[in-house]
Structure 1
Amino acid sequence: MPSCGGSENGGSDAIVFHNGIVLPVDPSFSQHAALAIQGNRVLAVGDVETVRSVAGSGAREIDLDGRTVLPGFIEPHMHFALSAGLGHLPDIGPFRRPTFEDALAAIREEAARSGPDEWVMGRQFDPILLEPPRDLTTRDLDPIVPDRPAFFLNASGHIAYVNSRTLEQAGLDRSSSDPLGGELGRYENGELNGVLFGQAAWLPILLSNASVVDRMAGGFAEAGIGVGEEAAALGLTTLCDMATGGLSGAGELELYRQMYEGGRMNVRIRAYLYQPQAAAFDEAGVRPGDGDDFVRVAGFKIVSDGSNQGFTGRQREPYVGSESLGLFYVEPDDLRAMVLDRAGRGWPLAIHGNGDAAIDSILDAMDAAAAAGIDVSSLRCRIEHCSILHDDQIERMAEHGMVPSFLINHVHYWGHVMRDE
């Protein structure tokens, strides 16, 4: 592989990396001794002498000192807006706060630190990794934060925990019905317990917090650049945002573009538009592939169920010790209509499916699209997570050219619980 960039030679702005291992990750998984680049192009990969000759005598050289050079990694599934908009909140999860009492102590610290008119907020709470597992409820939060809203996000992003003041401010009480695609947690007597299952239950409450809205409007670009710097430091050069528009509607795409002004953002974004904002994106005339090398619209994201670790992923069989099958965030008939609509317009789809029953409904929808004459295989649609998957479902996915987008962190952090329980 003497030359990759099609250039005869480099120049004074070319760079040669040598004295290490260069892995271009080609089909043969070859190894090379040197690499030359110029701007955003690879000039040559090969032995040192050949690469130097292509780069030219004026090229700058970097001694790798035995290190390895790899292409940039792609993060296939992340939530950029949540990371930028909420990443500053204190982490009360089990890796920082190993016990339930430690988490409560963190909440007390945040309540003492924040101003009297500020919400008390945190993220990463994860009851399934506690021993024993235990939710945050109003009975835990009200004594600590009795007179202002409190909001804490589960590590899965599918559940939130609030105090009674937050419920009151949102107009929710025991007479309230569950929102479509969500569920309000309750005590045995029917009173709300402050546990909100599904984005449909907690996202409107989050967006009623003026400080969150102001951060999205004012400080988002700066925070987003910080997320990009963190990603680049890990070798990630492309981030797939899996709910673009979830916090700020169709305007979120413009917020992403603003981050690249001045050349400060150093990773690419591929945006999967959040289905609940479909009307806004349609009105704005957004189409698949819109954008440039830095920010490009890649597809549409639909969330069909919750998370297995949060007991909201929709399963064929009930959870252990429960009669619950989990939640459909989108009922099967509605999902079928969404798939027919979006796929029929040529949109690649990334459909969140954790539980096996949810995956059944996704595949039924893809069957319907194919039966309607839509070439779904050409769209390379994805199922996100695929946490509980059966052989028959794998065969059906292959028939439609679907890609399973596994998140290995789910296995790393929660796999032992799913295996043992």
Structure 2
Amino acid sequence: MKLTLHSITQPLLRHLKSALLVTCTAPLLTACMSNGTAEQNEPSGSDSYIIHNGKIVTMAYESATQEPYPDAIWIQDGIIKAFGDLYTLEQQAGQGVRKLDLAGKTLMPGFIEPHTHLAFVIGLSVMTDLSPCLPDPYKTTYYLDESGDCPTSLQETYNTLNDSNKRISKTDNSKYPVWVWGNGIDPSRLGNSDKNIADIRRFINNPAIELDKNVNNANAKQPVNSFEPEQQSPIMLLDQSGHVAYVNLRAFVKSGLCSSVTKCSKKQNTISTGDYCPTDTSRFCYNENQTGGFEVYNTPDNSQLNGTFTGRVLESPNFVPFLQAISLSIGAEPGSPFVYLSEQQGMDIAPYFIHRIAQTGVTTLVNAGAFQSSEAKFFQQLACDNKDSPNMRYRTLIATDIADSTGEDRSPFEVANSLHTDTWDSETDGLYGAYGVKIWADGSTQGCSAYLKDDYAKNGICDGESGSSGQNYPGDKFEKELGNYWNNKETDRKWLIQVHANGDAAIEQALNAFTELQCQSDNDSNTFPITLHHATVGGNPAANESAVDLIVQARNEGLSCKDSENCKDCDITKHRFNITVSHTPAHVAYWGGAFQSILDGKGHEGESDSTGRATMLDPAKFEHSYDVPFSLHSDMPVSPVNPLWYVEQMVNRDTWFYPHLATDRKEPMPYNPVAGQQNIDVYQALRGVTIVPAQQNLLDEKIGTLEVNKVADLVILDRNPLAEKVDQIHTIKPCYTFVNGHSNQVYESLEQTVNESQDQTVCKIDNL
């Protein structure tokens, strides 16, 4: 996911410097100061205790059969000191050591969530949540002030929006319009059935018209049901993927892209290039049956426009005019990391979301990534505010095109360098870090904007969309965007690299760029971790093509580079890449059925899809067989944070088809007979939420496993996921988490769905 007002190229950024959301007069959040008592490699302020009488899962091994399951673990000053039996550890620890009785519960390393957008989630709290979800018991929602079930059709989506008390933006200035807004509409999930695929295509092809037909005017109880834009409120709905926005014609006027909109003459059957905005900024001509005008495809210089207006806006740089207009209308605070909330408003409600995340057993949260400097400072401030009794460890990636919230005229690279920290920052006892960058190679597969080697299916939801349309950086622009961060000669700061790459072509482009950058480096090779986020489309079995093969080659083979300066025929061998992947289990659960339509034109009721690209979605088993490590993540708000659900999902690989999204009618994902099933075992899935994301973020020397001299980031579960029935893993309750050895009670339910006293009995730990 990439959604931000500030993820824009420098020419457009300079153009918008005077705009409300780019300039910043508020002071930056300041770093907390070290108290001088903690050494850089160790947290401070804990006591001495032994945890015993339960199952201790260290996750320090390659498989469950190697797990030693020690009897007890001794922790002192936030550091794991020893394993052994209770009596021996008591003798080692001496007087004053506390004993924490697990009473049969399970102790594990704290879960690591390697991909979220928390600041954005907080900002979305002001608007209507339209996100489809899975049925109970898998259903998770964050915005509890909304009533009603998750929408399972387009009509239910419209009904949810029209009934919501958060559907309109609030403004005290009559100079600005009221917008109708919402987040999470997801047409891709709502039409993978033969019965309504035409309806979904109609929405995707012409959302502006469909919104005006079905969404109530801000000042009316029903749609105006007219194509006269002057009678409509401006509408902007964000897709659940975060890579697509849907707007109506009125939104184009109120965002300043057009000064007015007029109806085409009856004689005009098509739209000429001179009639659409922004080429002609005086007016926009449209007709009722075929809209015309402008649909934006994402290019770094914002130059590629085609002549078909639909109201479908691809990729976040192109959301800028609409987000800016909304922010002006509501008087949003300049430079806030929360877009539609002030910095203080966001900080006030952040603890609620953080606690919800901690309830899933997460002890380390990675923001992927910061689109403006104030967003990085937000996470640093969270770490500082909770330094004495930490409940979460934070890391943030820096977007390669990060904007400066202070309004200073600094390049993204200069902003990034000003935010760079050590991997284990002594000022925050390792609770905060910013030493990785993120670049987006493509959009989203469910948004028909992933960069694919083959086109989208002609008879699927995406209606034959070109596979190359999702490419964000044509030519060598990807390499140039990443070049400064790849082993820069001018600074001694090193950056780990993480790349958003959904499609197989995006993966291949990224690997090729890494090769060029490595060969161009005339200093040491880049050996820092490189992570491919999502890596959703693993290849095309019908063409015998596998993106995994390319990743394996890049991991295992040293590069042979030409030494053009000294000898054009000489080869220099450079270091192989430390490349891993990170998958979104929701891509299978939420969108597995939709992807069969999107990629293969199959998956409709009773239709086999055993030879299509959907069989290689998130191909974790294939990767594991070739020793390619993978982590699991949510991309929150794309899907909820819940590591134990990720584990269950990647073991079962179940999906839901329209129209049964809110029922228990789940189906297994299809598999290709040659590549085999992509289901993995529970232990490998648990590695994906513990040690592997720790490795990907340079934290594995400190956390991710339970080992002597590592930091005590822990989670206590009421049951052992390695011994539980697979389809019940998501029901396991995290009782307590520990960060730097400090315990946090997390089992209370904010949504009381079970007996509270029973919860307390299940999770109670003596001496905590």
Shorter-chain TM band: 0.7 to 0.9
Aligned 8 A contact 1:18 1:33 in 2: yes
Provide the C-alpha distance between the structure 2 equivalents of 1:116 and 1:404, rounded to a whole number of angstroms.
41
Task: Point out the more displaced range, 157-166 or 296-305.
Answer: 157-166
Q: Counterpart in 2 of 1:301?
A: 438
Q: Counterpart in 2 of 1:3?
A: none
**Could you give the per-residue CA deviations for residues 280-328 of structure 1, whole angstroms, max 9, x where no partner exists?**
4514633363754112013111001111111100111110011422321
1:341 shift after superposition: 2.3
Q: For residues 400-415 of structure 1, what are the structure 2 equivalents within 5 Å?
A: 400-415=577-592
Secondary structure in 2 matching 1:85: helix
Aligned 8 A contact 1:184 1:192 in 2: no
**Could you give the per-residue CA deviations for residues 151-200 of structure 1, whole angstroms, max 9, x where no partner exists?**
3221211112223332222223532363653899999xx56332211111
Q: Counterpart in 2 of 1:150?
A: 235
Provide the C-alpha distance between the structure 1 equivalents of 2:382 and 2:234, rounded to a whole number of angstroms.
31
2:56 to 2, 17, 22: 22
Q: Counterpart in 1 of 2:483?
A: 340
Provide the C-alpha distance between the structure 2 equivalents of 1:332 and 1:361, rounded to a whole number of angstroms.
9
Q: Counterpart in 1 of 2:376?
A: 253
1:332 shift after superposition: 3.2
Asked if residue 181 in structure 1 is aligned to residue 181 in structure 2, the reply is no
Q: Residues 93, 63 of structure 1: CA spacing in aligned structure 2 closer, same or farther, 3 A cutoff?
A: same
Q: Counterpart in 2 of 1:140?
A: 210
Q: Counterpart in 2 of 1:51?
A: 89
Aligned 8 A contact 1:348 1:380 in 2: yes
Q: Residues 352, 139 of structure 1: CA spacing in aligned structure 2 closer, same or farther, 3 A cutoff?
A: same
Letter in 2 for 1:252: E
1:222 shift after superposition: 2.8
Provide the C-alpha distance between the structure 2 equivalents of 1:63 and 1:361, rounded to a whole number of angstroms.
52
Q: Counterpart in 1 of 2:285?
A: none
Secondary structure in 2 matching 1:378: coil
Greater C-alpha radius of gyration: 2
Letter in 1 for 2:257: L
Provide the C-alpha distance between the structure 2 equivalents of 1:414 and 1:360, rounded to a whole number of angstroms.
23
Letter in 2 for 1:90: T
1:208 shift after superposition: 4.0
1:273 shift after superposition: 0.4
Secondary structure in 2 matching 1:51: helix
Provide the C-alpha distance between the structure 1 equivalents of 2:217 and 2:450, rounded to a whole number of angstroms.
31
Give the gaps of 5 or more residues in structure 1. 1-10
Secondary structure in 2 matching 1:105: helix
Provide the C-alpha distance between the structure 2 equivalents of 1:18 and 1:392, rounded to a whole number of angstroms.
44
1:265 shift after superposition: 5.5
Q: Counterpart in 1 of 2:719?
A: none
1:286 to 406, 419, 424: 419
Q: For residues 34-49 of structure 1, what are the structure 2 equivalents within 5 Å?
A: 34-49=72-87
Asked if residue 243 in structure 1 is aligned to residue 392 in structure 2, the reply is no
Provide the C-alpha distance between the structure 1 equivalents of 2:552 and 2:383, rounded to a whole number of angstroms.
42
Q: Counterpart in 2 of 1:120?
A: 180
Task: Point out the more displaced range, 299-308 or 325-334.
Answer: 325-334
Q: Counterpart in 1 of 2:451?
A: 314
Q: Residues 99, 312 of structure 1: CA spacing in aligned structure 2 closer, same or farther, 3 A cutoff?
A: same
1:229 shift after superposition: 1.6
Q: Counterpart in 1 of 2:152?
A: 98
Q: Which has the higher contact order (CA 8 A, sep 6+)?
A: 2
Q: Residues 203, 267 of structure 1: CA spacing in aligned structure 2 closer, same or farther, 3 A cutoff?
A: farther
1:331 shift after superposition: 1.9
Task: Point out the more displaced range, 270-279 or 127-136.
Answer: 127-136
Provide the C-alpha distance between the structure 1 equivalents of 2:392 and 2:413, rounded to a whole number of angstroms.
24
Question: What percentage of residue pairs aligned between the two structures are identical?
Answer: 26
1:257 shift after superposition: 1.9
1:94 shift after superposition: 2.1
1:258 shift after superposition: 1.9
1:105 shift after superposition: 0.8
Letter in 1 for 2:402: Q
RMSD after superposition:
3.1
Q: Residues 340, 12 of structure 1: CA spacing in aligned structure 2 closer, same or farther, 3 A cutoff?
A: closer
**Could you give the per-residue CA deviations for residues 343-399 of structure 1, whole angstroms, max 9, x where no partner exists?**
032322111111122122111211111211365551221211112232442234314
Q: Residues 333, 162 of structure 1: CA spacing in aligned structure 2 closer, same or farther, 3 A cutoff?
A: same
Letter in 2 for 1:393: L
Letter in 2 for 1:250: S
Q: Counterpart in 2 of 1:387?
A: 536
Secondary structure in 1 matching 2:99: strand
Q: For residues 345-364 of structure 1, what are the structure 2 equivalents within 5 Å?
A: 345=488, 346-364=494-512
Secondary structure in 2 matching 1:271: strand
Letter in 2 for 1:209: I
Which structure carries more helix by proportion? 1
Q: Residues 396, 170 of structure 1: CA spacing in aligned structure 2 closer, same or farther, 3 A cutoff?
A: farther
1:401 shift after superposition: 2.3
Provide the C-alpha distance between the structure 2 equivalents of 1:301 and 1:205, rounded to a whole number of angstroms.
24
Q: Counterpart in 1 of 2:323?
A: 206
Q: Residues 280, 218 of structure 1: CA spacing in aligned structure 2 closer, same or farther, 3 A cutoff?
A: farther
2:391 to 266, 269, 274: 266
Letter in 2 for 1:215: L
Q: Residues 82, 113 of structure 1: CA spacing in aligned structure 2 closer, same or farther, 3 A cutoff?
A: closer
Q: Counterpart in 1 of 2:711?
A: none
Provide the C-alpha distance between the structure 2 equivalents of 1:294 and 1:339, rounded to a whole number of angstroms.
27
Q: Counterpart in 1 of 2:402?
A: 277
Letter in 2 for 1:175: C
Aligned 8 A contact 2:182 2:238 in 1: yes
**Could you give the per-residue CA deviations for residues 36-59 of structure 1, whole angstroms, max 9, x where no partner exists?**
333422233332222333344433
Q: For residues 224-235 of structure 1, what are the structure 2 equivalents within 5 Å?
A: 224-235=350-361
Give the gaps of 5 or more residues in structure 2. 1-44, 134-149, 172-177, 219-231, 259-275, 279-293, 333-337, 404-410, 459-463, 489-493, 539-545, 558-576, 601-768
Task: Point out the more displaced range, 163-172 or 52-61.
Answer: 52-61
**Could you give the per-residue CA deviations for residues 45-85 of structure 1, whole angstroms, max 9, x where no partner exists?**
33222233334443333332221010111112222221222
Q: Counterpart in 1 of 2:25?
A: none
Aligned 8 A contact 2:535 2:582 in 1: yes
Letter in 2 for 1:181: T
Asked if residue 324 in structure 1 is aligned to residue 442 in structure 2, the reply is no
Give the TM-score of the pair, scaled to structure 2: 0.49
Aligned 8 A contact 1:250 1:280 in 2: no
Q: Residues 112, 35 of structure 1: CA spacing in aligned structure 2 closer, same or farther, 3 A cutoff?
A: closer
Q: Counterpart in 2 of 1:220?
A: 346
Letter in 2 for 1:282: E
Provide the C-alpha distance between the structure 2 equivalents of 1:282 and 1:12, rounded to a whole number of angstroms.
38
Aligned 8 A contact 1:354 1:387 in 2: yes
Give the TM-score of the pair, scaled to structure 1: 0.85
Aligned 8 A contact 1:16 1:62 in 2: yes
Q: How many residues align?
A: 406
